[in-house]
Copies of this chain bind each other. A is one copy, B any other.
Protein backbone atom coordinates (compact mmCIF):
# COMPACT_ATOMS: atom_id res chain seq x y z
CA UNK A 1 0.00 0.00 0.00
CA UNK A 2 1.30 3.45 -0.85
CA UNK A 3 1.61 6.39 1.50
CA UNK A 4 -0.56 9.49 1.31
CA UNK A 5 -1.56 11.20 -0.92
CA UNK A 6 -2.39 7.79 -2.42
CA UNK A 7 -5.99 6.77 -1.90
CA UNK A 8 -6.37 4.70 1.27
CA UNK A 9 -2.84 5.71 2.20
CA UNK A 10 -3.86 6.92 5.63
CA UNK A 11 -3.14 3.72 7.56
CA UNK A 12 0.16 3.06 5.80
CA UNK A 13 1.25 6.63 6.47
CA UNK A 14 0.36 6.39 10.14
CA UNK A 15 2.16 3.08 10.46
CA UNK A 16 5.29 4.33 8.71
CA UNK A 17 5.54 7.54 10.72
CA UNK A 18 4.88 5.68 13.98
CA UNK A 19 7.67 3.25 13.17
CA UNK A 20 9.94 6.20 12.47
CA UNK A 21 8.95 7.86 15.74
CA UNK A 22 9.85 4.67 17.59
CA UNK A 23 13.32 4.84 16.06
CA UNK A 24 13.60 8.51 16.99
CA UNK A 25 12.41 7.91 20.56
CA UNK A 26 14.99 5.18 21.02
CA UNK A 27 17.64 7.58 19.73
CA UNK A 28 16.51 10.37 22.04
CA UNK A 29 16.70 8.06 25.07
CA UNK A 30 20.15 6.89 24.08
CA UNK A 31 21.32 10.45 23.42
CA UNK A 32 20.49 11.52 26.93
CA UNK A 33 21.85 8.43 28.66
CA UNK A 34 25.34 8.57 30.16
CA UNK A 35 25.84 4.85 29.65
CA UNK A 36 25.63 5.20 25.88
CA UNK A 37 28.44 6.43 23.67
CA UNK A 38 28.53 9.90 22.14
CA UNK A 39 29.59 8.48 18.80
CA UNK A 40 30.51 5.31 16.97
CA UNK A 41 33.31 6.62 14.80
CA UNK A 42 34.02 5.40 11.27
CA UNK A 43 36.37 6.80 8.69
CA UNK A 44 34.90 8.27 5.49
CA UNK A 45 36.02 5.33 3.36
CA UNK A 46 34.35 2.88 5.74
CA UNK A 47 31.01 4.65 5.54
CA UNK A 48 31.32 5.04 1.77
CA UNK A 49 32.02 1.38 1.25
CA UNK A 50 28.71 0.62 2.94
CA UNK A 51 28.60 -0.83 6.41
CA UNK A 52 26.39 -3.88 6.80
CA UNK A 53 24.26 -2.91 3.85
CA UNK A 54 24.04 0.83 4.58
CA UNK A 55 24.46 2.23 1.10
CA UNK A 56 24.55 5.95 0.43
CA UNK A 57 24.12 5.66 -3.33
CA UNK A 58 20.95 6.95 -4.99
CA UNK A 59 18.88 4.45 -6.97
CA UNK A 60 16.87 4.83 -10.17
CA UNK A 61 14.17 2.56 -8.76
CA UNK A 62 12.45 3.07 -5.42
CA UNK A 63 13.52 1.29 -2.25
CA UNK A 64 10.76 -0.10 -0.03
CA UNK A 65 9.60 1.42 3.23
CA UNK A 66 11.25 -1.23 5.41
CA UNK A 67 14.61 -0.45 3.81
CA UNK A 68 14.05 3.28 4.40
CA UNK A 69 13.46 2.69 8.09
CA UNK A 70 16.67 0.68 8.24
CA UNK A 71 18.45 3.56 6.53
CA UNK A 72 17.04 5.96 9.10
CA UNK A 73 18.27 3.75 11.93
CA UNK A 74 21.72 3.52 10.32
CA UNK A 75 21.92 7.26 9.73
CA UNK A 76 21.45 7.85 13.43
CA UNK A 77 23.71 4.96 14.43
CA UNK A 78 26.73 6.34 12.60
CA UNK A 79 26.09 9.95 13.56
CA UNK A 80 27.10 11.97 16.59
CA UNK A 81 24.79 12.45 19.58
CA UNK A 82 25.01 16.21 19.95
CA UNK A 83 22.45 16.08 22.77
CA UNK A 84 24.55 13.75 24.91
CA UNK A 85 25.52 15.29 28.28
CA UNK A 86 29.17 14.54 27.47
CA UNK A 87 29.26 16.22 24.06
CA UNK A 88 31.28 19.43 24.54
CA UNK A 89 32.44 19.91 20.97
CA UNK A 90 30.36 22.84 19.68
CA UNK A 91 28.58 25.98 20.82
CA UNK A 92 25.27 24.36 19.88
CA UNK A 93 24.67 21.28 21.97
CA UNK A 94 21.75 19.67 23.73
CA UNK A 95 18.48 18.10 22.68
CA UNK A 96 15.58 20.07 24.07
CA UNK A 97 12.44 17.94 23.82
CA UNK A 98 10.13 20.93 23.45
CA UNK A 99 12.40 22.49 20.83
CA UNK A 100 12.38 19.17 19.02
CA UNK A 101 8.59 19.03 19.18
CA UNK A 102 8.60 22.54 17.72
CA UNK A 103 10.73 21.41 14.81
CA UNK A 104 8.54 18.40 14.10
CA UNK A 105 5.52 20.66 13.95
CA UNK A 106 7.35 23.23 11.84
CA UNK A 107 8.32 20.66 9.25
CA UNK A 108 4.78 19.28 9.19
CA UNK A 109 3.40 22.77 8.58
CA UNK A 110 6.09 23.16 5.87
CA UNK A 111 5.49 26.80 5.04
CA UNK A 112 7.53 29.90 4.33
CA UNK A 113 7.97 33.14 6.33
CA UNK A 114 7.19 35.09 3.24
CA UNK A 115 3.80 36.65 3.76
CA UNK A 116 1.06 36.73 6.36
CA UNK A 117 -1.08 35.03 3.74
CA UNK A 118 0.79 31.73 3.97
CA UNK A 119 2.21 31.98 7.52
CA UNK A 120 -0.26 33.97 9.60
CA UNK A 121 0.56 32.39 12.94
CA UNK A 122 4.33 32.17 12.52
CA UNK A 123 4.58 35.77 11.31
CA UNK A 124 2.81 36.99 14.43
CA UNK A 125 4.93 34.75 16.65
CA UNK A 126 8.03 36.27 15.05
CA UNK A 127 6.77 39.72 15.95
CA UNK A 128 6.08 38.69 19.54
CA UNK A 129 9.43 36.95 20.04
CA UNK A 130 11.44 39.76 18.45
CA UNK A 131 9.66 42.33 20.59
CA UNK A 132 10.54 40.29 23.66
CA UNK A 133 14.18 40.19 22.60
CA UNK A 134 14.20 43.97 22.00
CA UNK A 135 12.90 44.59 25.48
CA UNK A 136 15.53 42.24 26.95
CA UNK A 137 18.24 44.16 25.12
CA UNK A 138 16.80 47.28 26.65
CA UNK A 139 15.59 49.22 23.62
CA UNK A 140 12.67 51.57 24.21
CA UNK A 141 9.30 50.19 23.19
CA UNK A 142 8.92 52.45 20.16
CA UNK A 143 12.21 51.13 18.75
CA UNK A 144 13.10 47.70 17.52
CA UNK A 145 12.87 45.70 14.34
CA UNK A 146 14.44 42.48 13.13
CA UNK A 147 14.11 39.17 11.44
CA UNK A 148 15.03 35.52 11.89
CA UNK A 149 17.61 34.38 9.37
CA UNK A 150 19.70 31.28 8.76
CA UNK A 151 22.70 31.80 11.01
CA UNK A 152 25.02 34.37 12.50
CA UNK A 153 26.89 35.08 9.29
CA UNK A 154 23.67 36.11 7.61
CA UNK A 155 22.79 38.26 10.62
CA UNK A 156 26.15 40.00 10.42
CA UNK A 157 25.76 40.42 6.68
CA UNK A 158 22.43 42.16 7.27
CA UNK A 159 24.09 44.52 9.74
CA UNK A 160 26.75 45.57 7.22
CA UNK A 161 24.13 46.11 4.50
CA UNK A 162 22.04 48.18 6.91
CA UNK A 163 24.93 50.31 8.09
CA UNK A 164 26.04 51.02 4.55
CA UNK A 165 22.55 51.83 3.37
CA UNK A 166 21.90 54.01 6.40
CA UNK A 167 24.97 56.11 5.62
CA UNK A 168 24.71 55.99 1.81
CA UNK A 169 21.20 55.12 0.60
CA UNK A 170 22.45 55.64 -2.96
CA UNK A 171 24.28 52.30 -2.76
CA UNK A 172 20.96 50.54 -3.25
CA UNK A 173 20.34 52.00 -6.68
CA UNK A 174 23.83 52.84 -7.90
CA UNK A 175 26.08 50.20 -6.37
CA UNK A 176 29.41 50.34 -4.60
CA UNK A 177 31.08 52.54 -7.18
CA UNK A 178 28.76 55.42 -6.30
CA UNK A 179 30.00 55.67 -2.73
CA UNK A 180 33.40 56.39 -1.15
CA UNK A 181 35.77 53.70 0.07
CA UNK A 182 34.46 52.49 3.37
CA UNK A 183 36.31 51.15 6.38
CA UNK A 184 34.99 48.61 8.83
CA UNK A 185 36.39 47.68 12.26
CA UNK A 186 36.12 44.39 13.99
CA UNK A 187 37.79 42.10 16.48
CA UNK A 188 40.04 39.47 14.95
CA UNK A 189 38.24 36.91 17.11
CA UNK A 190 34.98 37.60 15.33
CA UNK A 191 32.63 34.69 14.85
CA UNK A 192 32.94 34.38 11.10
CA UNK A 193 35.17 36.71 9.18
CA UNK A 194 34.32 36.07 5.57
CA UNK A 195 31.71 38.75 5.11
CA UNK A 196 34.07 41.37 6.42
CA UNK A 197 36.76 40.58 3.90
CA UNK A 198 34.89 42.23 1.04
CA UNK A 199 35.37 45.71 2.49
CA UNK A 200 38.48 47.51 3.79
CA UNK A 201 38.69 46.05 7.22
CA UNK A 202 40.80 46.79 10.25
CA UNK A 203 41.16 44.01 12.77
CA UNK A 204 41.90 45.62 16.09
CA UNK A 205 44.31 44.51 18.80
CA UNK A 206 43.12 42.48 21.70
CA UNK A 207 43.90 42.13 25.34
CA UNK A 208 45.26 38.81 26.58
CA UNK A 209 41.73 37.71 27.30
CA UNK A 210 40.67 38.40 23.72
CA UNK A 211 38.86 41.65 24.46
CA UNK A 212 38.98 44.69 22.30
CA UNK A 213 41.19 47.53 23.56
CA UNK A 214 39.12 50.61 22.96
CA UNK A 215 42.04 53.04 22.65
CA UNK A 216 43.30 50.89 19.77
CA UNK A 217 39.93 51.17 18.07
CA UNK A 218 40.02 54.91 18.33
CA UNK A 219 43.46 55.20 16.77
CA UNK A 220 42.54 52.71 14.02
CA UNK A 221 39.63 54.94 13.09
CA UNK A 222 41.88 57.99 12.95
CA UNK A 223 44.38 56.11 10.78
CA UNK A 224 41.68 55.00 8.36
CA UNK A 225 40.42 58.56 8.04
CA UNK A 226 43.91 59.85 7.35
CA UNK A 227 44.15 57.35 4.49
CA UNK A 228 41.01 58.80 2.90
CA UNK A 229 38.71 55.97 3.92
CA UNK A 230 35.27 56.54 5.41
CA UNK A 231 34.84 54.60 8.67
CA UNK A 232 31.22 53.50 8.99
CA UNK A 233 30.85 50.34 11.05
CA UNK A 234 32.22 48.72 14.19
CA UNK A 235 31.56 45.09 15.06
CA UNK A 236 31.87 44.42 18.76
CA UNK A 237 31.70 40.86 20.02
CA UNK A 238 29.77 39.72 23.06
CA UNK A 239 31.08 36.23 23.66
CA UNK A 240 33.90 35.25 21.32
CA UNK A 241 33.92 31.74 19.94
CA UNK A 242 37.08 30.45 21.57
CA UNK A 243 37.64 32.53 24.69
CA UNK A 244 34.08 33.62 25.36
CA UNK A 245 35.33 37.20 25.72
CA UNK A 246 33.07 40.24 25.95
CA UNK A 247 34.20 43.49 24.38
CA UNK A 248 33.68 46.65 26.51
CA UNK A 249 30.44 47.73 24.88
CA UNK A 250 29.99 51.06 26.62
CA UNK A 251 33.48 52.22 25.67
CA UNK A 252 32.88 51.14 22.07
CA UNK A 253 29.53 52.90 22.05
CA UNK A 254 31.23 56.12 23.15
CA UNK A 255 33.72 55.88 20.31
CA UNK A 256 31.00 55.05 17.77
CA UNK A 257 28.98 58.00 18.97
CA UNK A 258 31.97 60.31 18.74
CA UNK A 259 32.79 59.30 15.16
CA UNK A 260 29.22 58.74 14.02
CA UNK A 261 29.66 55.05 13.29
CA UNK A 262 27.19 52.19 13.21
CA UNK A 263 27.68 49.96 16.23
CA UNK A 264 26.91 46.30 15.71
CA UNK A 265 27.17 43.74 18.52
CA UNK A 266 27.73 40.14 17.50
CA UNK A 267 26.12 38.47 20.50
CA UNK A 268 25.49 35.23 18.60
CA UNK A 269 27.05 33.29 21.45
CA UNK A 270 26.77 35.75 24.34
CA UNK A 271 23.22 37.01 23.78
CA UNK A 272 21.71 34.29 25.94
CA UNK A 273 23.34 35.81 29.01
CA UNK A 274 20.93 38.74 28.73
CA UNK A 275 18.31 36.38 30.16
CA UNK A 276 20.30 35.98 33.36
CA UNK A 277 20.08 38.68 36.01
CA UNK A 278 23.39 37.44 37.32
CA UNK A 279 25.32 37.54 34.04
CA UNK A 280 23.71 40.22 31.87
CA UNK A 281 26.04 42.85 33.33
CA UNK A 282 28.69 41.51 30.93
CA UNK A 283 26.72 42.95 28.04
CA UNK A 284 26.20 46.39 29.57
CA UNK A 285 25.97 48.95 26.79
CA UNK A 286 24.35 46.58 24.27
CA UNK A 287 21.25 48.80 24.39
CA UNK A 288 23.34 51.49 22.66
CA UNK A 289 23.99 49.27 19.60
CA UNK A 290 22.34 49.96 16.25
CA UNK A 291 22.05 46.25 15.57
CA UNK A 292 22.60 42.97 17.36
CA UNK A 293 23.19 39.38 16.22
CA UNK A 294 21.76 36.89 18.71
CA UNK A 295 21.50 33.15 17.99
CA UNK A 296 19.06 31.33 20.25
CA UNK A 297 20.43 28.08 18.77
CA UNK A 298 23.57 28.58 20.82
CA UNK A 299 23.31 29.51 24.50
CA UNK A 300 19.53 29.13 24.72
CA UNK A 301 19.69 25.52 23.54
CA UNK A 302 17.21 25.92 20.67
CA UNK A 303 17.71 23.36 17.86
CA UNK A 304 19.79 24.64 14.94
CA UNK A 305 18.94 26.87 12.99
CA UNK A 306 17.60 29.76 15.06
CA UNK A 307 19.33 33.07 14.58
CA UNK A 308 18.21 36.69 14.63
CA UNK A 309 19.31 40.10 13.46
CA UNK A 310 17.85 42.75 15.73
CA UNK A 311 17.79 46.35 14.54
CA UNK A 312 17.12 49.37 16.71
CA UNK A 313 15.69 51.68 14.05
CA UNK A 314 12.25 50.67 12.89
CA UNK A 315 11.64 50.42 9.16
CA UNK A 316 15.27 50.47 8.08
CA UNK A 317 15.39 46.75 7.30
CA UNK A 318 12.50 47.12 4.92
CA UNK A 319 13.82 50.31 3.33
CA UNK A 320 17.20 48.72 2.79
CA UNK A 321 16.06 45.40 1.35
CA UNK A 322 12.69 45.95 -0.24
CA UNK A 323 12.41 45.67 -3.97
CA UNK A 324 8.75 46.55 -4.21
CA UNK A 325 8.50 43.56 -6.50
CA UNK A 326 4.79 43.42 -7.02
CA UNK A 327 5.03 39.90 -8.28
CA UNK A 328 6.10 39.00 -4.75
CA UNK A 329 4.09 41.38 -2.58
CA UNK A 330 0.74 42.77 -3.59
CA UNK A 331 -0.20 46.05 -1.95
CA UNK A 332 -3.88 45.51 -2.74
CA UNK A 333 -4.43 42.62 -0.36
CA UNK A 334 -7.29 42.58 2.13
CA UNK A 335 -5.17 42.46 5.29
CA UNK A 336 -2.50 44.74 6.75
CA UNK A 337 0.39 44.06 4.38
CA UNK A 338 2.95 45.34 6.85
CA UNK A 339 2.83 41.71 8.04
CA UNK A 340 4.28 40.55 4.73
CA UNK A 341 7.79 40.44 6.11
CA UNK A 342 9.32 39.05 2.93
CA UNK A 343 10.39 42.53 1.87
CA UNK A 344 12.59 42.91 4.94
CA UNK A 345 14.47 39.78 4.03
CA UNK A 346 17.07 39.26 1.35
CA UNK A 347 15.69 35.74 1.04
CA UNK A 348 12.64 34.62 -0.92
CA UNK A 349 11.97 31.33 0.77
CA UNK A 350 12.60 31.70 4.50
CA UNK A 351 12.38 28.70 6.78
CA UNK A 352 10.20 28.99 9.89
CA UNK A 353 12.77 29.18 12.68
CA UNK A 354 10.66 30.98 15.26
CA UNK A 355 8.16 28.35 16.34
CA UNK A 356 10.50 26.07 18.30
CA UNK A 357 11.83 29.08 20.23
CA UNK A 358 8.33 30.36 20.89
CA UNK A 359 7.24 26.95 22.17
CA UNK A 360 10.34 26.61 24.36
CA UNK A 361 9.66 30.04 25.82
CA UNK A 362 6.13 28.94 26.66
CA UNK A 363 7.47 25.75 28.22
CA UNK A 364 10.25 27.29 30.30
CA UNK A 365 9.21 30.85 30.77
CA UNK A 366 11.93 33.49 30.86
CA UNK A 367 12.81 32.12 34.30
CA UNK A 368 13.45 28.68 32.88
CA UNK A 369 15.89 30.09 30.36
CA UNK A 370 17.61 32.01 33.13
CA UNK A 371 18.02 28.89 35.28
CA UNK A 372 19.32 26.90 32.33
CA UNK A 373 21.91 29.52 31.40
CA UNK A 374 23.05 29.99 34.99
CA UNK A 375 23.47 26.22 35.25
CA UNK A 376 25.72 26.16 32.16
CA UNK A 377 27.90 28.93 33.56
CA UNK A 378 28.11 27.15 36.88
CA UNK A 379 29.45 24.10 35.09
CA UNK A 380 32.11 26.28 33.47
CA UNK A 381 33.08 27.71 36.82
CA UNK A 382 33.22 24.23 38.34
CA UNK A 383 35.58 23.10 35.58
CA UNK A 384 37.67 26.24 35.94
CA UNK A 385 38.23 25.77 39.69
CA UNK A 386 38.90 22.10 39.21
CA UNK A 387 41.61 22.71 36.63
CA UNK A 388 43.12 25.59 38.55
CA UNK A 389 43.96 23.22 41.40
CA UNK A 390 45.69 20.62 39.24
CA UNK A 391 49.26 20.51 38.04
CA UNK A 392 48.56 18.28 35.01
CA UNK A 393 46.32 20.94 33.49
CA UNK A 394 47.11 24.52 32.62
CA UNK A 395 44.55 27.23 31.92
CA UNK A 396 45.08 29.34 28.82
CA UNK A 397 44.41 32.50 30.79
CA UNK A 398 44.03 33.32 34.43
CA UNK A 399 40.79 34.55 35.83
CA UNK A 400 37.27 33.14 36.00
CA UNK A 401 35.56 32.52 32.67
CA UNK A 402 33.06 35.22 31.72
CA UNK A 403 31.08 32.94 29.45
CA UNK A 404 30.87 29.14 29.51
CA UNK A 405 34.15 28.70 27.59
CA UNK A 406 37.05 27.14 29.48
CA UNK A 407 40.34 26.88 27.56
CA UNK A 408 43.16 24.67 28.80
CA UNK A 409 46.12 22.47 28.01
CA UNK A 410 46.59 18.98 29.31
CA UNK A 411 50.20 18.18 30.25
CA UNK A 412 51.15 14.51 30.08
CA UNK A 413 53.59 13.39 32.76
CA UNK A 414 56.72 13.91 30.68
CA UNK A 415 55.78 17.53 29.87
CA UNK A 416 54.87 18.51 33.42
CA UNK A 417 58.47 18.75 34.50
CA UNK A 418 59.80 20.62 31.45
CA UNK A 419 59.95 24.40 31.66
CA UNK A 420 58.11 26.39 29.00
CA UNK A 421 60.21 26.58 25.80
CA UNK A 422 59.61 26.47 22.04
CA UNK A 423 60.44 22.79 22.16
CA UNK A 424 57.93 22.06 24.89
CA UNK A 425 55.38 24.03 22.84
CA UNK A 426 56.03 21.85 19.81
CA UNK A 427 55.39 18.76 21.90
CA UNK A 428 52.38 20.24 23.62
CA UNK A 429 50.92 21.21 20.25
CA UNK A 430 50.57 17.53 19.39
CA UNK A 431 48.96 16.42 22.63
CA UNK A 432 45.39 17.62 22.03
CA UNK A 433 45.09 16.13 18.51
CA UNK A 434 46.38 12.79 19.77
CA UNK A 435 43.94 12.73 22.66
CA UNK A 436 41.10 13.81 20.38
CA UNK A 437 41.82 10.98 17.96
CA UNK A 438 41.65 8.37 20.70
CA UNK A 439 38.64 10.08 22.21
CA UNK A 440 36.69 9.89 18.97
CA UNK A 441 37.69 6.31 18.32
CA UNK A 442 36.48 5.30 21.77
CA UNK A 443 33.46 7.57 21.65
CA UNK A 444 32.66 8.33 25.30
CA UNK A 445 32.98 12.10 25.13
CA UNK A 446 33.89 14.83 22.63
CA UNK A 447 35.65 18.16 23.05
CA UNK A 448 37.23 20.53 20.54
CA UNK A 449 40.73 21.93 20.35
CA UNK A 450 42.51 24.57 18.29
CA UNK A 451 45.60 26.77 18.30
CA UNK A 452 45.05 30.53 18.50
CA UNK A 453 47.60 33.16 17.57
CA UNK A 454 50.79 32.32 19.52
CA UNK A 455 49.13 29.60 21.56
CA UNK A 456 49.61 25.98 20.55
CA UNK A 457 46.71 23.52 20.41
CA UNK A 458 44.54 23.76 23.49
CA UNK A 459 41.19 22.29 24.45
CA UNK A 460 38.12 24.50 24.55
CA UNK A 461 35.27 23.24 26.66
CA UNK A 462 31.90 24.93 26.19
CA UNK A 463 28.69 24.38 28.11
CA UNK A 464 25.32 24.98 26.48
CA UNK A 465 23.60 21.68 27.22
CA UNK A 466 21.45 21.83 30.35
CA UNK A 467 21.67 18.02 30.57
CA UNK A 468 25.35 18.29 31.51
CA UNK A 469 26.08 17.90 35.23
CA UNK A 470 29.20 18.05 37.38
CA UNK A 471 29.70 14.31 37.04
CA UNK A 472 30.06 14.85 33.29
CA UNK A 473 32.70 17.50 33.84
CA UNK A 474 34.54 15.07 36.13
CA UNK A 475 34.23 12.38 33.49
CA UNK A 476 35.73 14.63 30.82
CA UNK A 477 38.79 15.39 32.94
CA UNK A 478 39.29 11.75 33.87
CA UNK A 479 38.92 10.74 30.23
CA UNK A 480 41.53 13.25 29.04
CA UNK A 481 43.94 11.98 31.67
CA UNK A 482 43.21 8.34 30.84
CA UNK A 483 43.80 8.89 27.12
CA UNK A 484 46.70 11.30 27.47
CA UNK A 485 48.80 10.47 30.49
CA UNK A 486 51.22 8.23 28.59
CA UNK A 487 51.66 10.56 25.63
A residues touching B (Cβ–Cβ < 8 Å)? 3-5, 10, 13-14, 16-18, 20-21, 23-25, 27-29, 32, 41-44, 47-48, 56-63, 65, 67-68, 71-72, 74-76, 78-80, 82-83, 85, 89-90, 92, 95, 97-98, 100-101, 103-105, 107-112, 114, 116-122, 124-125, 128-129, 132, 150-154, 171-173, 175-177, 181, 191-195, 197-201, 241-242, 295, 297, 303-305, 307, 321, 323, 325-328, 330, 332-336, 339, 346-351, 355, 358-359, 361-368, 430, 433, 436-437, 440-441, 446, 449-452, 457, 466-467
Among A197, A349, A351, the one with the most B-chain Cβ atoms within 10 Å of its Cβ is: A349
| Cβ contacts under 8 Å, A450 to chain B | 326-328, 330
Which one of B10, B23, B90, B121 lies within 8 Å of A29 (CB-CB)?
A: B10
Most buried by B among A67, A117, A441: A117
Kindly provide the distance from the CB of A162 to the nearest chain B CB, expressed in whole angstroms. Answer: 13
Residues in B with CB closer than 8 Å to A61 are: 365, 367
Of chain B, the residue at the smallest CB distance from A10 is B29
The chain B residue with its CB closest to the CB of A56 is: B128
The answer to whether A335 and B79 touch across the interface, beta carbons within 8 angstroms, is no
Question: Nearest 10 A-B pairs (CB), nearest first?
Answer: A103-B107, A5-B467, A150-B150, A334-B437, A327-B450, A61-B365, A332-B433, A3-B97, A62-B365, A305-B351
CB < 8 Å: which of B63, B195, B336 contacts A44? B336
Known A62-B363, A335-B44, A358-B58; contact A326-B153, beta-carbon cutoff 8 A: no
CA distance A125 to B44 in the complex (A): 11
Q: A13-B28, A152-B348, A351-B304 are in contact. Are A175 and B201 (CB under 8 A)?
A: yes
**A32-B5, A68-B359, A176-B176 given; A79·B111 CB < 8 A:** yes
Is the beta-carbon distance between B47 and A121 smaller than 8 angstroms? yes
A sample of 23 cross-chain residue pairs with beta-carbon separation below 8 angstroms, ordered by A number, consists of A13-B28, A14-B25, A17-B25, A23-B105, A43-B335, A56-B358, A68-B101, A68-B359, A71-B362, A76-B105, A79-B120, A80-B111, A82-B110, A90-B118, A95-B108, A112-B304, A117-B446, A150-B150, A150-B351, A194-B321, A194-B346, A332-B457, A333-B433
Complex: A302 Cα to B49 Cα, angstroms: 27
Flag if A17 contacts B97 (CB, 8 Å).
yes
Structural contact, B171 and A347, CB atoms closer than 8 A: no
Query: Which residues of chain B are near A366, meaning CB under 8 Å?
Result: 58-60
Contact A17 B101 (CB under 8 A): yes
Q: Which residues of B contact A295 (CB under 8 A)?
A: 349
Q: Which residue of B lies closest to A240 (CB)?
A: B327
Chain B residues with CB under 8 Å of A361's CB are 58-59
Q: Which of B24, B60, B129 contacts A108 (CB 8 A)?
A: B24
Contact call B365/A125, Cβ cutoff below 8 A? no
Cβ–Cβ contact B62 & A364, under 8 A: yes
Q: Is the CB of B192 within 8 A of A105?
A: no
Measured in the bound complex, the distance between the Cα atoms of B114 and A305 in whole Å is 13
Give the distance to chain B from A470, nearest Cβ to Cβ, in Å: 14
A116 touches B44 (CB 8 A): yes
| Given known A-B contacts A97-B13, A112-B92, A326-B451, A117 and B440 have beta carbons under 8 A apart | yes
Q: Contact at B152–A119, with CB atoms within 8 Å? A: no
Q: A57-B128, A105-B24, A346-B153 are in contact. Are A97 and B351 (CB under 8 A)?
A: no
Known contacts: A121-B78, A330-B450. The answer to whether A104 contacts B58 by CB under 8 A is: no
